[in-house]
């Protein structure tokens, strides 16, 4: 029998644990394990209680051996009939045990633990947890416990399982947490009682008991709900306070209110189209920010083609009017050039010039722009990462816009506004995500949403074609090209198979250009071509001198070519859902009807089938993002993983948007109250 008497610790009885006690005061936790726990934030009794189970073994998983089912994780209880150590030459040792429970026998194999052959004694009662496999069914390396006579097995009730720490057996962790529960009454509940009451949330102590030692299955969900609320609530309080503390005062750029003849009014009056209601509302939100005397920090979420660029332009016009400058950071050179061109057109009526700064510019060409920025002679600049270089300085940066913000790291996003004092920030994102998710990830920013697309836009008709059916898509393309419209044929390109992918695109290009589409002006475009050539090709396409682009994903993000109406995506099953939505967004940018054809061949996985079906059905990017989250899980969604909000169960937030809204609402109330206290104390 193992001895635990070497430790004189008592965690119960006359010395109940207290939340602030170090964990090594608990039975079974020595200094080394305490250090391991400390590293994951569970170094104190109170901290340990915040280590929540990742799953539970439910009594319903218990089965008799005769009922064992292949592939089903099960708990068995039985008597160890025999045990032996098997060594085969140089191979790792295997301990083989046979367990019987009156209904049958099952073999269990443990690897690389030869000592088990000695410590496990035939005749012992065992509780085993594993997944039967093979024929006859066996258990490979199952978890087990020896049940001593008179001792009730921990597997008899609901057993929590925690994220493993190497060297810390679940059994030890479970016991330590159980005894730590005695301290839960001394913990301060971070959710105020009235908030708990309003939303039917368990008090902290009850919730801790229910999550670590649930009396039945039904007790678990309310506890989880309470802790999710708590996390969201605390996070939103922090976000709200951060928003409240945003820089205000003398160093902030303040745009002028009222007074007719302002640049913004002239700009809005000069637009070649009518703004959508969404665009007008968002411009209003930005205008209020810029006139408020506090630094703006706003995230603009907009679906593909919803017209974010003109909103950013309006922001720039208003922000720079009292003598400031605006800078727009974009992820690619193609986009930088496109934005510079469209901003030049949009800003000409108000007499603003627009500079371009990209890394491919020869040093000599970049120099005049840098010096104009430094002297304050240039009001608006568009650029790639080149803008972030130290040599780029502004005389008076009033607004930093980051387009496709998820393509930049958090630190990079900070670099640009850092080049000014009290500069406003506007982040644009074309990955439409549900509001609850946006506010979980970026709740310290104010949020504006553009959903509406410009008037007259028709939804892009989306169709799947498999194998030989693709001829229909190509016939349609040919017809449209003959009618003077433009199109794309897009091929996937991934790093691992880049060479093969490029060849596939180039081969298709040669074949089509020489044969089936020989009557049209076809060009090849991919990221490996020299940038001058890429730019020339896109310009020619924009000018109408090219009918069709055979390309890779270089046209995926942000590119705006209004006359294109047909998009054929080859091997569409190799793309992600949000990515396909972006790609499809390259067409349907005018009042002509557009088509997107998704081509597949060979076997298509059920997951890919689902993605393509969603795309055929939906065109609202926000809905598509929700489906994408449902299919892939939030960890995979572009931009979510890198953000590293490991703490919050994003999937649960999406499943329960009402709970999220409740937590956010209560957080705003709390933050508002504490802000009032601060003001009344200082004033």
Contact positions toward ligand ADP, by CB under 6 A?
273-276, 279, 302, 304-310, 430, 454, 558, 560, 562, 589
Cα gap 189→202, rounded to integer Å:
10
In whole angstroms, how close is the CB of 257 to ligand ADP at the nearest point?
25
Instruction: Tell the smallest beta-carbon distance from residue 625 to Mg ion (Å).
Output: 16
CA distance 75 to 611: 37
Residues 329 and 381: beta-carbon distance below 8 Å: no
Nearer to Mg ion, 57 or 401 (CB): 401
Tell me the window of 149-157, 346-354, 552-560, 616-624 that interacts with Mg ion (CB under 5 A). Answer: 552-560
Single residue of 47, 366, 422, 558 touching Mg ion by CB under 5 A: 558
CB of 614 to ligand ADP, least distance (A): 20
**Measured distance CA(667)–CA(240) in Å, rounded:** 7
Nearer to ligand ADP, 33 or 308 (CB): 308
Is the Cβ of residue 80 or residue 327 nearer to Mg ion in the bound state?
327
Measured in degrees and rounded to the nearest 5, phi and psi for residue 418 equal -65, -15
> Quick one: 45 or 564, whose CB is closer to Mg ion?
564
Q: Which is nearer to ligand ADP, 44 or 279 (CB)?
A: 279
Buried-exposed string 427-436: b where 16+ CB fall within 10 A, e elsewhere: bbbbbbbbbb
Q: Name the DSSP letter for residue 308.
A: H
Residue 658 CB-density burial (10 A; 0-12 exposed, 13-18 middle, 19+ buried): exposed
- Cα–Cα distance list, 584 to 447, 530, 556 (Å): 25, 25, 9
Instruction: Judge contact between 512 and 537, C-beta under 8 A.
Output: no
Instruction: Show contacts of 516-523: CB within 8 Å, 24+ apart.
Output: 516/474, 516/478, 517/477, 517/478, 517/481, 517/548, 519/482, 520/481, 520/547, 520/548, 521/545, 521/546, 521/547, 521/548, 522/546, 522/547, 522/548, 522/549, 522/550, 523/548, 523/549, 523/550
Give me the least distance between CB of 551 and ligand ADP, in Å please. Answer: 18
- Least distance CB 623 / Mg ion (angstroms): 20
Contact 612, 581 (CB under 8 A): no
**Closest residue to Mg ion: CB criterion:** 558
**Nearest distance in Å: CB 269, ligand ADP:** 14
* Residue 46 is a binding residue for Mg ion (CB under 5 A): no
310's contact among Mg ion, ligand ADP, none, with CB below 5 to 8 A by partner kind, is ligand ADP
Part in contact with Mg ion (CB under 5 A); list of ranges 152-160, 258-266, 558-566, 600-608: 558-566
- Min CB(583)–ligand ADP separation in Å: 12
Q: How far is the CB of 108 from ligand ADP (least distance, A)?
A: 58
SS3 call for 465: strand
Give whichever of 30 and 455 is closer to ligand ADP, judged by the CB atom: 455
Choice between 574 and 584, CB closer to ligand ADP:
584
Q: Give the interface segment with Mg ion, choosing from 84-92, 193-201, 544-552, 554-562 (CB under 5 A).
A: 554-562
How far apart are CB 618 and ligand ADP at their closest, in Å?
17
Nearest to ligand ADP by Cβ — which residue? Answer: 307
Which partner, ligand ADP, Mg ion, none, binds residue 355 by CB below 5 to 8 Å per kind? none
Report the relative pairing of strands 397-402 and 325-329 from DSSP bridges.
parallel
From the CB of 344, what's the least distance to ligand ADP, in Å? 13
Choose the one of Mg ion, ligand ADP, none that binds residue 487, judging by a C-beta under 5 to 8 angstroms depending on kind: none
Applying CB under 5 A, the span of 418-426, 484-492, 557-565, 646-654 interacting with Mg ion comes to: 557-565
Judged by beta carbon distances under 5 to 8 A according to partner kind, the member of Mg ion, ligand ADP, none in contact with residue 130 is none
Residue 404 CB, nearest approach to Mg ion (Å): 7
Q: ∠ at Cα 45 (44, 47), nearest 5°?
A: 60
Nearest distance from residue 675's CB to ligand ADP, in Å?
A: 34
CB 405 within 8 A of CB 413: yes
**Is the Cβ of residue 214 or residue 585 nearer to ligand ADP in the bound state?**
585
In angstroms, what is the minimal distance from the CB of 397 to Mg ion? 22
Alpha carbon separation from 318 to 274, 312, 506, 647 (Å, rounded)? 19, 10, 46, 39
- The Cα 339–Cα 354 span in angstroms is 10
Instruction: List phi, psi (to 5°) of 551.
Output: -145, 170
Is residue 650 within 8 Å of residue 219, measured between CB atoms? Answer: no
Which DSSP letter does residue 13 get?
T
Closer to ligand ADP by Cβ: residue 272 or 351: 272
Q: Which does 83 bind (CB under 5 to 8 A by kind): ligand ADP, Mg ion, none?
A: none
Q: In terms of DSSP bridges, do strands 522-525 and 486-490 run parallel, antiparallel, or are they unpaired?
A: unpaired
> Omega of the bond prior to 136 within 30 degrees of 0, cis?
yes
36 binds, among ligand ADP, Mg ion, none (CB under 5 to 8 A by kind): none
Residue 145 or 278 having the CB closest to ligand ADP: 278
Measure the CA–CA gap between 598 and 589, rounded to whole angstroms.
Answer: 19
Please report, for residues 343, 370, 451, the alpha-carbon distance to residue 277 in angstroms, rounded to integers and kept in the order given.
21, 37, 10
What's the CA gap between 345 and 504, in Å, rounded? 38
Question: Which of 401, 392, 387, 327 is CA-nearest to residue 359?
Answer: 387
Yes or no: say if 199 and 629 are a contact pair by the CB < 8 Å rule. no
Minimum CB separation of residue 350 from ligand ADP in Å reads: 17
Site string for Mg ion, 499-538 (x = CB under 5 A): ----------------------------------------
User: Which C-beta is closer to ligand ADP: that of 456 or that of 530?
Assistant: 456
- State in angstroms the smallest separation of the CB of 338 from ligand ADP: 8
Calpha distance 53→72 (Å, rounded) = 21
CB nearer ligand ADP, residue 253 or residue 308: 308
Give the nearer residue to Mg ion in terms of CB position, either 232 or 313. Answer: 313
Count residues binding Mg ion (CB under 5 A).
Answer: 1
Closer residue to Mg ion, CB minimum distance, 439 or 450: 450
- When CB distances are held under 5 to 8 angstroms depending on the partner's kind, the choice from ligand ADP, Mg ion, none that residue 528 binds is none
Q: Which stretch binds Mg ion (CB under 5 A): 97-105, 143-151, 340-348, 550-558?
A: 550-558
Q: Nearer Cβ to Mg ion, position 74 or 453?
A: 453
Question: Quick one: what does residue 74 bind among ligand ADP, Mg ion, none, with the CB cut-off 5 to 8 Å set by partner type?
Answer: none
Distance of CA 458 to the CA centre of its chain: 30
Q: How many CA atoms lie within 13 A of 17 on its CB side?
A: 29
Which parts of this chain interact with Mg ion (CB under 5 A)?
Answer: 558
């Amino acid at each position: 029998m193992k001895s635990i008497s070497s430790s004189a610790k008592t965690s119960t009885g006359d010395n109940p644990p207290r939340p602030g006690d170090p964990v090594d005061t608990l039975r079974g936790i020595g200094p080394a394990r305490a250090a391991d726990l400390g590293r994951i934030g569970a170094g104190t009794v109170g901290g340990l209680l915040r280590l929540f189970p990742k799953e539970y073994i439910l009594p319903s998983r218990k089965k008799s051996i005769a009922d064992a089912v292949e592939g089903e994780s099960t708990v068995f209880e039985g008597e160890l009939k025999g045990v032996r150590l098997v060594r085969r030459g140089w191979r790792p040792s295997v301990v083989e045990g046979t367990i019987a429970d009156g209904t049958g026998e099952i073999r269990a194999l443990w690897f690389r633990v030869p000592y088990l052959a000695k410590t496990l004694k035939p005749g012992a009662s065992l509780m085993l947890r594993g997944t039967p496999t093979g024929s006859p069914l066996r258990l490979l390396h199952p978890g087990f416990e020896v049940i001593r006579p008179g001792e009730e097995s921990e597997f008899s009730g609901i057993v929590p399982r925690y994220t493993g720490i190497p060297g810390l057996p679940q059994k030890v962790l479970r016991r330590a947490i159980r005894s730590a529960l005695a301290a839960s009454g001394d913990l301060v509940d971070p959710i105020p009682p009235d908030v708990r009451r309003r939303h039917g949330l368990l008090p902290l102590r009850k919730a801790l008991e229910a999550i670590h030692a649930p009396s039945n299955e039904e007790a678990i969900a309310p506890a989880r709900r309470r802790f999710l609320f708590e996390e969201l609530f605390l996070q939103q309080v922090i976000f709200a306070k951060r928003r409240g503390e945003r820089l205000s005062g003398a160093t902030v750029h303040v745009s002028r209110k009222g007074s007719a003849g302002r640049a913004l009014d002239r700009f809005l009056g000069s637009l070649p189209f009518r703004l959508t209601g969404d665009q007008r509302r968002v411009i209003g939100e930005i205008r209020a920010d810029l006139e408020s005397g506090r630094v703006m920090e706003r995230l603009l979420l907009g679906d593909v083609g919803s017209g974010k660029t003109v909103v950013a332009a309006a922001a720039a016009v208003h922000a720079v009017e009292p003598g400031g400058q605006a800078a727009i950071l974009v992820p690619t050179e193609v986009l930088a050039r496109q934005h510079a061109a469209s901003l030049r057109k949009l800003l000409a009526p108000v007499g603003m010039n627009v500079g371009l700064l990209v890394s491919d510019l020869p040093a000599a060409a970049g120099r005049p722009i840098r010096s104009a920025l430094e002297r304050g002679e240039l009001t608006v600049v568009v650029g790639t990462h080149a803008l972030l270089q130290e040599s780029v300085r502004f005389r008076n940066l009033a607004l930093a816009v980051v387009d496709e913000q998820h393509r930049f790291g958090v630190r990079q996003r900070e670099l640009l506004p850092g080049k000014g004092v009290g500069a406003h920030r506007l982040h644009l994102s074309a990955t439409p995500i549900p509001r609850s998710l946006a506010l979980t990830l970026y709740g310290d920013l104010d949020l504006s949403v553009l959903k509406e697309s410009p008037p007259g836009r028709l939804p892009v008709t989306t169709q799947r074609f498999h194998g030989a059916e693709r001829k229909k898509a190509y016939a349609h393309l040919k017809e449209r090209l003959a009618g003077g419209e433009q199109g794309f044929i897009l091929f996937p390109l991934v790093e691992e198979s880049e060479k093969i992918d490029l060849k596939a695109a180039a081969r298709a290009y040669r074949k089509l250009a020489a044969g089936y589409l020989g009557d049209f002006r076809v060009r090849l475009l991919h990221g490996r071509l020299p940038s001058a050539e890429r730019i020339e090709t896109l310009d020619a396409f924009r000018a109408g001198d090219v009918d069709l682009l055979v390309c890779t994903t270089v046209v995926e993000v942000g590119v705006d070519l209004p006359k294109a109406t047909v998009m054929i995506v080859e091997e569409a099953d190799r793309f992600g859902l949000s990515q396909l939505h972006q790609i499809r967004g390259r067409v349907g940018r005018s009042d002509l009807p557009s088509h997107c054809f998704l081509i597949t061949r060979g076997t298509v996985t059920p997951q890919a089938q689902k993605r393509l079906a969603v795309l055929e059905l939906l065109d609202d990017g926000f809905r598509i993002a929700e489906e994408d989250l449902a299919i892939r899980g939030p960890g995979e969604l572009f931009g979510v993983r890198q953000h590293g909000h490991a703490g919050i169960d994003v999937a649960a937030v999406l499943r329960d948007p009402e709970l999220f809204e409740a937590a956010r609402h209560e957080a705003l109330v709390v933050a508002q109250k504490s802000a009032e206290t601060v003001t009344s104390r200082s004033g």
